[in-house]
Amino acid sequence: MGSGGAPYPDLHPGVLLRMLGSNPICRSVVLYDRIDSTNGAAMRAARSGTSGKALFIADEQSLGRGRMGRSWWSARGKSLLFSLLIRPKREPQGLTPLLALAAVRGLGGICGDVMVKWPNDLFIGERKVAGILAESRDGAVVLGMGLNVNETEEDFPVELRGKATSLAIETGRRQARGGILVRVLKELGGCYDLWCRSGLEPFVVELERRLLYRGEPVALESGGERITGVMTGLTRDGRLRLEVEGNVRILASGDLSLRRVTE
Ligand code: BTN
């Protein structure tokens, strides 16, 4: 399905564009009933020459992609699944935490307890509510987000129960996916020009306040290596600062996973 005649009133492209107004990062919207992956769709559009500021949304994904080659589970009609294609004029580092912060801000009026689990997850309490997958090629950057909106506990596959949550579970109310998407994109649009000029630095203090496990012992695993230390915060460009046996270690995101150490 293209941008016309959407059967999902909460994701109607025309309505979304009107609500977004003159947003600096989103000028067109394509809504799919079902697609392999909105990141895939955005990347294909980039390869065929689509200029940036294009948004791809799906009611359902058949091959949703997560970080580190994982798949991304989602429930038809309940998850917010979108990918934004942009062509930024600076290196894209920092866009994942920027989107995370925009989502935290955008969700603020709905659920105030959303935290950023560095580098790309949003958590409420101990459970994941959203993940971000950023991919880039030849100057095109695709920022994909999967946000659990109206899932019930029973909707989640057994292996995700107790680990994943949704906005409906946390607030006790169904939410309109389009309204949430607009809130997040308005926040991202509001940050984008400053990020283009100054990078992530202007946002780091606020991000640090929202950083899950800050001040706590954590373990990072990357390519078979395990580093344990206390998470002390972020660098000006959004890398993680860890205190390891009295020394500061700076870690870039990449293929690594982060856990709290409880003993
Ligand atoms: C992660 O937590 O590993 C990142 C998950 C990102 C999932 C979203 S859903 C929309 C977009 N399309 C994809 O295939 N992946 C991202």
Q: Which of 73, 65, 106 is nearest to 210 (CA)?
A: 106
- 3-state DSSP of 24-76: CCCCEEEEECCECCHHHHHHHHHHCCCCCCEEEEECCECCCECHHHCECCCCC
Q: What is the pLDDT of residues 46-101, one digit of tens each?
A: 999 999 999 999 999 999 999 989 999 999 999 999 999 999 999 998 999 999 99
Task: Give the pLDDT score at 225.
Answer: 83
Judge if the beta carbon of residue 218 lies within 6 A of ligand 1: no
pLDDT reading at 16 higher than 80: yes
Q: What is the pLDDT of residues 145-199, one digit of tens each?
A: 999 999 999 999 999 999 999 999 999 999 999 999 999 999 999 999 999 999 9
Judge if the beta carbon of residue 38 lies within 6 A of ligand 1: yes
Atom of ligand 1 lying closest to residue 58 CA: 10
State the Cα angle at 71 between 85 and 34, rounded to 5°.
60
55 C-alpha to ligand 1 centroid (Å): 14
pTM: 0.94
Atom of ligand 1 lying closest to residue 121 CA: 2
Q: Going by CA atoms, what residue is nearest to atom 2 of ligand 1?
A: 131
CA 193/CA 196 separation, integer angstroms: 5
Tracing tokens 């990078």 back to the chain, one arrives at 199
Site to probe by mutation for ligand 1, drawn from 31, 44, 55, 65 as the one with most ligand atoms within 8 Å of Cβ, is 65
